[in-house]
Structure 1
Amino acid sequence: MIKTRFAPSPTGYLHIGGLRGALYSYLFAKQHKGKFVLRLEDTDQSRYVKGAVENIIQTLQKIGLEWDEGPYLDKTLNIKQKGRFGPYFQSQRLPIYQQYAQKLIDSGQAYYCFCSTDRLEKLRQLQQGQNQPSKYDGCCRRLTEKYKSAKFKIQNSKLLVNDRPAVIRLKIPQSGEVRFNDLIRGEVKIQMEDIDDQVLIKSDGFPTYHLAVVIDDHLMGITHVIRGEEWISSTPKHILLYQFLNWDLPKFAHLPLLLNKDRSKLSKRQGDVAAEDYLKKGYLPEALLNYVALLGWHPSDDRELFRLKELIKNFDLSRVQKAGAIFDSDKLNWFNCFYIKNKPDKELLRLAKKFLPDVPDKLLDKILKVEKSRLSYLAEICDRAGYFLNLADYEPEILIFKKSDGGTARLALEKVMDRLNGLKKWQPEKIKQALAAVVQENRLTNGDVFWPVRVALSGLKQSPPPEEIMAVLEKDESLTRIHSALDKLKK
């Protein structure tokens, strides 16, 4: 059975890149009738952010991704776990990692390192001064048998060997190479001499990512590891651990980096990167999933619009590109606008109500019908609804069409007032016909008439067509605003 996982660290909020990794892992598993696991890699306690676990879980749930195993929040928002292979928090699995670390020590495939922080820092500075890559020099590989066969213990959050503080390092072979077939990139080769003797268990008894991820993936039955390309250089270490422990290898697929438009790495400094930020602004989950799915994956045809079920059917890892994928916020806005326009009115009203809770439902529904095709995200409704609720003051000059004059603007508004006063059916089409009649009867242009009316109603140079605005404002308020505009022009 195919089994994938998403294993974020609770060091912050769910990054767009993390969401893509979760989505691809989910799609691949579900496409093959397999299982998708959520696991929290929380061994780096110094970077742990309070509330991050809950945020990650809630964001994934809001997005619409469901997992078969892992932590979840119950109705009282307490963290629970489901699945036969837990616990699904690495911090709750320390004895498991320590057991396998001792096994690696006993087989000679890992060793104790007693080097002080001071020595390691001096070594790093020396290598840096000689333009060499920072790498452990293997000093403690040459330990006496006394230490090679010793058992370690964890006491007062310290790893001790014969009462000496230590760490445990992976013993990398000093020659040869590691090869693996990446499902996206093909064959990857890395020389042993370029691989560092990775720390497996830190001085506080906690495992590093490299040991924990291999043990967890094996014990949880993960068959396919789908993650970012930044982990390619670490994969040989993981492969060696699988081999040293006599375990079958999973398949690896390394996703391309996400880039800004200037091809720099996507980062907080250049805008929102947390999925939650987009949800809070009113980006719809289906739009976010649709767009993120296309960040590196190319369907077999030119189709762009996919619901989640359609993504499960069509997704293909072999069609994921190797080169970095550009995150284009304008394109995301296009997707979101499409899904907003096609959202049922009742559901859209419910979602928009979160942004304008004090606006009556009937009025907000009318505003949405006018504005929804222009919304990039739902939070924009706060600004776009403003002139429907309260008309801000504006300069009289903007009432005059660029190819017209003040006298023509006054004439147009006066004639429009006369026409609209006698209008019996206050409907967009009837209002538009009335405005068109003013144009024709007075030998004016559309701009001469529609422009000052639009500004009179909204106080803006850019707004929806006047007949749509008036349908929302209703007759009395529309005529009041046009009358006020006339007063401005007469001053």
Structure 2
Amino acid sequence: MKNSVRVRFAPSPTGPLHIGGLRTALYNYLFAKKHNGTFILRIEDTDQSRYVEGAEQYIKEALDWCGLTIDEGPNTPGDFGPYRQSERQHIYKEYAQKLIDSGHAYYAFDSAEELDKLRKERESKGETFTYNSQNRTHLNNSLNLSEDECQKLLDDGQPYVIRFKMPMAKQLLISDIIRGNIQVRTDALDDKILFKSDGMPTYHLANIVDDHLMKITHVIRGEEWLPSLALHILLYDALGWDAPEFAHLPLILKPSGKGKLSKRDGEKHGFPVFPLEWKDPKSGQISAGYREDYYLPEAVINMLALLGWNDTSDQEIFSLHELIDKFDLSRVHKAGAKFDPEKTEWFQHQYVQKVDIEILANQFQNWLKTQKSIDSKIEYVRQIVSLLKERINFVPDFWQEGYFFFEAPQEFNPKATKKAWKDGTAEIISNLKTLISEQNDFSKESIQPTIKNWIQSQDIGFGKVMQPLRLSLVGDMKGPDVFDIISLLGKEEVVKRLEFAINTLK
């Protein structure tokens, strides 16, 4: 392990942060904290044509919501900034020039039209055109032009790119913490563009330069960057720098296990694939987020941590502190991890049972106000939340399970009515109403034995009273213990509901 572990999460602000990206951030964070290192956020915005307004703020807000505190970043200055690549533009040309001067890169003046023509010619023969060591000596670049010809094109402002000169017939042996040893032949690789005449580097150059200058010790990123690993190793070597250690994470797969999890999968099956809700600034389309769907961030983090990693035990519930303590890159799987929406809800349920009642009560009180225009006192809401907590996964579920605490039934479930309301039921409930009206202590501890003793004294079957009583209060045969419902509703509301049931169902 290198000293002073420094890792970076380096997203591009081209849209919302996918949960695959969030998992990459999480694994970087866990690794850094495990080794008392530094977790860096770097915004890779060299491709300004794909920049999306609001995306950078979204990324930072998502990390904050998940509790992944940034040690260095755009709004958390350190000694290695700036932390936006667009603000580091002046740095990259120097290193592109070093690669040209050392013979590891060259100017290429081929126009888009020329390259397109070559691609079509190859396609017509059933072949693929690749700008590489096999054909670069026949193309419009500084490898074939004289120094004077090349300089004149540069002086005339001719558009150009700087390409990496891929070594010929070289066998590379590359080490990856997760994948092990990887062998690559350079003949199979193309001469990637590193720098463009507009003054902006491509991802490959900017990434390498920034990682070196920011003293990154470990690059932990998605497996989609595996094809670029050989180029990056060669760039480090060409610039005379030691490369960091690499770890390429497995994909998060669709619930079917076939293919990478996408936004469309979430829309099709009704689950979020983004940590926060996202409104597309161009189309106005809104994509669901875990936060707005009332997931707890701790549940999301726990779920993501186990999508590709385990600690060899059967433990499934981990606090962030426990994840930091147990996380090990060697325990990250190579194969893709299948996303399971039902398991995600299971994690949510576990954390809802652990979370402070006050948090849920405040969230449900706000939900009642915004969604139902019900302004209910927090103490009343707190009692309902405490009563229903074990039944729910999400804050809106409190309404599904306990709407009758806020709205008296205006109609009764026909099937439940047929079962509970018989000849003579109206008289029984009327007598019960009289009993309840006479009670002063309406706590559950008082009202429960009072009603039970009355039922016994009347020599009535327990079900003949309790079923129509529940029906009268709820409108259906559902809900928690009926004596909890009575106690929370209070005498006046219970009597009112019993009267309505008697008059409606007679």
Identify the TM-score tier after normalising by the shorter chain: 0.7 to 0.9
Q: Deviations over 1:326-345 (max 9, x none)?
A: 22222222222222222223
**CA apart distance, 1:119:** 2.9
Shift of 1:151: 9.9
Is the contact made by 1:39 and 1:71 (CA closer than 8 Å) also made in structure 2? yes
2:303 paired with 1:291: yes
In structure 2, what is the Cα distance between the partners aligned to 1:40 and 1:56? 9
- Whether the 8 Å contact between 1:399 and 1:409 is mirrored in structure 2 is no
Deviations 1:16-66 (A, max 9, x none): 111111111011111111111111011111111112212211221121111
Could you tell me which residue of structure 1 aligns to residue 47 of structure 2?
A: 44
CA distance in 2, matches of 1:414, 1:334: 44
The aligned runs of 1:257-406 (5 Å cut-off) are: 257-263=251-257, 264-271=259-266, 272-276=272-276, 277-357=289-369, 358-381=375-398, 383-384=400-401, 386-391=403-408, 393-400=410-417, 406=422
SS of residue paired to 2:423: helix
C-alpha distance in 1, partners of 2:180/2:71?
A: 30
Q: 2:171 aligns with which of 174, 177, 184?
A: 177
Kindly indicate whether residue 145 of structure 2 is the aligned counterpart of residue 144 of structure 1.
yes
Structure 1's unaligned 5+ residue stretches are: 73-80, 153-159
RMSD: 2.8
Q: Cα offset for 1:253? A: 0.9
For residues 413 and 5 of structure 1, do their structure 2 counterparts lie closer, same or farther at Cα, with a shift above 3 Å needed? farther
Say whether residues 1:9 and 2:21 are aligned partners: no
2:402–2:479 Cα contact (<8 Å) kept: no
Shift of 1:281: 2.5
Paired with 1:456 and 1:151, the residues of 2 have a C-alpha distance of 92
Displacement, 1:102?
Answer: 1.1
Equivalent pair of 2:421/2:468 in contact (CA under 8 Å) = no
Of 142-151 and 325-334, deviating more is 142-151
Q: Which moved more, 1:187-196 or 1:390-399?
A: 390-399
Q: Spell out the pairing of 1:459-474 with structure 2 (5 A cutoff).
A: 459-460=475-476, 462-474=478-490
Which aligned pairs between 1:60-459 and structure 2 lie closer than 5 A? 60-72=63-75, 81-127=76-122, 132=127, 135-136=130-131, 138=136, 139-140=139-140, 142-146=143-147, 150=151, 162-263=156-257, 264-271=259-266, 272-276=272-276, 277-357=289-369, 358-381=375-398, 383-384=400-401, 386-391=403-408, 393-400=410-417, 406-407=422-423, 410=426, 413-414=429-430, 416-417=432-433, 420-428=436-444, 430-433=446-449, 444=461, 446=463, 449-459=465-475
In 2 relative to 1, CA 318–33 (structure 1 residues): closer, same or farther, beyond 3 Å?
same
TM-score w.r.t. length of structure 1:
0.87
Across the two proteins, how many residue pairs are aligned to each other? 473
Provide Cα deviations, 1:65-90, integer angstroms capped at 9, x if missing partner: 11221122xxxxxxxx4101100000
Deviation at 1:180, TM superposition (A): 1.5
CA distance in 1, matches of 2:424, 2:295: 43
How far off is 1:134 after superposition? 5.9
> Per-residue displacement from partner, 1:125-173 (whole Å, max 9, x unpaired)?
4555555556335334542132797499xxxxxxx56421111111112
Aligned to 1:486: 502
In the superposition, the TM-score normalised over structure 2's length comes to: 0.85
User: SS in structure 2 opposite 1:172?
Assistant: coil
| Aligned-pair identity (%) | 42
> Take 2:424 and 2:176, find their aligned partners in 1: how far apart are those partners?
71
Structure 2: unaligned runs, 5 residues or longer: 267-271, 277-288, 370-374
Counterpart in the other structure of 2:283 = none
Q: Note the C-alpha offset of 1:225.
A: 0.7
Residue 56 of structure 2 aligns to which amino acid in structure 1?
V
Please report how far the alpha carbon of residue 445 of structure 1 lies from its aligned counterpart in structure 2 after TM superposition.
Answer: 6.4
- How big is each residue's C-alpha offset from its partner over 1:160-216, in whole Å with a ceiling of 9 and x where there is no partner? 564211111111123223322211121122222322211111343211111111111
Give the secondary-structure state (helix, strand or coil) at the position aligned to 2:490: helix
